[in-house]
Structure 1
Amino acid sequence: MPQNIVVSRPEGLTVAWAQRIVGQHEKGTVVTQVEIVSVDVGTTTRIRLSLDYKGASALPRRWFVKLPSLAWRARFITALPQLLANEVHFYQEFASSVPIALPVCLAAQSRWGLGSILVLADVEENGSLAGDADDILSIGQAGLVLDGLARFHARFWRQDASARRYRWLAGRVRRVEDHLGTVLAVPLMKQGLRNAGDFFPARLYKRALHYAHNRRRAMRFLTAAPQTLVHHDCHPGNLFWQHGQAGLLDWQMARIGEGVSDVAYFLATALEPEQRRRHETGLLRRYAGQLAQQGVTEMDGGQLAERYRAHLVYAFEAMVVTLAVGDMMATESNLELIRRTAMAVDDLDAFSALPI
């Protein structure tokens, strides 16, 4: 049985703790120092570490560690659906078969009653650049991300969520998350919209509340399509750039869903509204073309555009709920993403695409 590496607070990231992880990779390597470089508290507590080893080692000297959030509101929202445990499970089960760049996983562990921990190589050690939540991507960068998403979605296309390998992505924990989202939809939507103030068009207020009241029906519609493995939180802050290619971070929301949901979430959050208006049709065609190259030809352009339009609503909801909960994203970035997603919903009249 592997040694326990789960800790609850940054102070637990000691030399002895790091040695237990290093011993799994290089038996003779000795950790001499562990320094906490930064601590960022959001949906999880994210810690950057600097390590020294005795002698030569091929292991990274900068680590990125994820622990449960130290912010009580974020911890409450993420604990019941076990989002960090979900990401641990993703790295244990899927990382080796995902055709898109990921950080190197050094350790991932969940223990009943103790919690979960994820230890990754810091992507910036090898010259990669991690994104910020409110980054504005160029159309060229957006195209590269869509190419990666198409390869990723095609790899897992038409997965049966009841199959043993995928059951944890759609089983009891996901049902708890869906139920929690439905129960809290109205109060969180009201609070988030109040907090957002002028960052969204006032005409969306009643329609957003109507959606929240009918969220369960909307979710049934949004999942009534061919299923694949999706990231489900594909905003600029969860990207990194490596040798000119895009990689994806933060897989705690991964699940079985519709691939175009990632596309809608990404384009609504990553592009300035004017850019998106001019280029989203072409970018959707590019995504569909990449799917076709991978052998997925089931959806024509009209169907894809309508499903894209409907899924924009979730991107807007996610950003509003994030603001309502608080402590999950920097407020200025959160408000900017509400502005962008609200404009996408308004431009395409996305609420009317849902049968509610």
Structure 2
Amino acid sequence: MPQNIVVSQPEDLTVAWAQRVVKLHEPHTLVTQVDLVSVEVGTTTRIRLAVTYHAETALPRRWFVKLPSLAWRARFITALPQLLETEIRFYQELAKAVPIALPVCLAAQSRWGLGSILVLADIEEHGALPGEPHDVLSAAQAGLVVDGLARFHARFWHQHGTVPRYRWLAGRVRQVEDHLGTVLAVPLMQQGLRRSGAAVPVGLHQAALHYARNRRRAMRFLSALPQTLVHHDCHPGNLFWQQHQAGLLDWQLVRIGEGVSDVAYFLATALEPEQRRLCETGLLARYAQQLHSHGITDVDSGQLNGRYRAHLVYAFEAMVVTLAVGDMMPTASNLELIRRTATAVEDLDAFAALPI
């Protein structure tokens, strides 16, 4: 049985703890010092560490550690669907097959009754630039992300039903998450709309609440074409940039779903509305073309555009619910992403694309 590396508080990340992690990679390398660089609390508690060794080593000197959130509301909303545990299992079982840049995983462990921990190499050590949730991407950057999403989606296209190791992605944990989302949909939407203020046009409120009351039906429609592995939380704060290529962080919501859902979520959150209006049709065509270049030929452009429009609703809901729960994203960034997603939903009359 592997050594226990699970801890519950940032102050538990000691030299002795780091030594247990290092032993997984270089048993004879000694850790001499661990310094806490920063602690951020959101959907998880995110900790940056500076680690000093007794000699030269290939191991990173900056670590990024994720623990369950220290904020009680965020912890409650993420504990039942086991979001951190899902990300841990992603790194343990799927990450090596993902054809898009990811952080290097140093250790990942979940222990029943004790907790969970994910230890990654800090992407900034080698010059990568992490995104911020409120970042605005250029059309050129958006194109690079769309290319990466197409490559990622193509890798897992149609495999979920035939490869047993992927089936957990649609199993009990996802069912709990869907049930929780349905039960809390109306009160969270009401609370989020109240807190959003001018970020959501008043004309969208009735449709948003109707969607929340009929969320189960809407989710069945949005899940009707499960084709591939999706990130499901592809906003600018979960991107990083290295050598002009985009990578993806935060795989807590990874699941089987429709590839274009990631594209809708990304374009609605990452582009200013004016830029999105100008380039979204072209970027959707680029996504379809990239899929085709990777051997995916069963993509209908007309259907793709319609599904893109419908999936914008989830991006809007996710941002509004994030605000309603609180402690999951900086409020100013959250409000900005609500503004962008609400504008996208309004521009394309996305609620009308749902058969509810």
TM range (shorter): over 0.9
Partner in structure 2 of residue 17 of structure 1: 17
Shift of 1:167: 2.2
Gapped regions of structure 1 (runs ≥ 5):
none
Counterpart AA for 1:32: T
1:123-202 mapped onto 2 (5 Å cutoff): 123-161=123-161, 163-202=163-202
| Structure 1 stretch displaced more, 164-173 or 33-42 | 164-173
Deviation digits for residues 34-86 of structure 1, max 9, x if unmatched?
00100000000000000100011110000000000000000000000000000
| Structure 1 stretch displaced more, 162-171 or 183-192 | 162-171
| C-alpha distance in structure 1 between counterparts of 2:226 and 2:73, whole Å | 34
Partner in structure 1 of residue 35 of structure 2: 35
Counterpart AA for 2:10: P
| Structure 1 stretch displaced more, 165-174 or 148-157 | 165-174
| C-alpha distance in structure 1 between counterparts of 2:226 and 2:302, whole Å | 16
Partner in structure 1 of residue 287 of structure 2: 287
SS at match of 1:2: coil
Counterpart AA for 1:39: V
Counterpart AA for 1:331: T
Shift of 1:312: 0.1
Q: TM-score, normalised by structure 2?
A: 0.99
| C-alpha distance in structure 1 between counterparts of 2:74 and 2:177, whole Å | 14
Deviation digits for residues 110-134 of structure 1, max 9, x if unmatched?
1111111000000000000000000
Deviation digits for residues 283-333 of structure 1, max 9, x if unmatched?
000000000001112122111000000000000000000000000000000
Counterpart AA for 2:155: R
SS at match of 1:247: strand
Shift of 1:160: 3.2
| C-alpha distance in structure 1 between counterparts of 2:79 and 2:133, whole Å | 23
Partner in structure 2 of residue 300 of structure 1: 300
On the 8 A contact 2:40/2:47 being kept in 1, the answer is yes
On the 8 A contact 1:39/1:45 being kept in 2, the answer is yes
Identity of aligned residues (%): 78
| Structure 1 stretch displaced more, 291-300 or 255-264 | 291-300
Shift of 1:227: 1.6
Shift of 1:164: 2.6
Counterpart AA for 2:353: A
Partner in structure 1 of residue 335 of structure 2: 335
| C-alpha distance in structure 2 between counterparts of 1:194 and 1:226, whole Å | 33
On the 8 A contact 2:226/2:256 being kept in 1, the answer is no
Gapped regions of structure 2 (runs ≥ 5):
none
Shift of 1:162: 7.9
| C-alpha distance in structure 2 between counterparts of 1:197 and 1:46, whole Å | 29
| Structure 1 stretch displaced more, 153-162 or 224-233 | 153-162
4+ long deviations beyond 2 Å: 159-164
| C-alpha distance in structure 2 between counterparts of 1:86 and 1:159, whole Å | 19
Shift of 1:161: 4.9
| Structure 1 stretch displaced more, 164-173 or 227-236 | 164-173
Deviation digits for residues 2-54 of structure 1, max 9, x if unmatched?
10000011011000000001011111110000001000000000000001000
On the 8 A contact 1:161/1:256 being kept in 2, the answer is no
RMSD: 0.8
Q: CA, structure 1 residues 235+33, in 2 after alignment: closer, same or farther (shift >3 Å)?
A: same
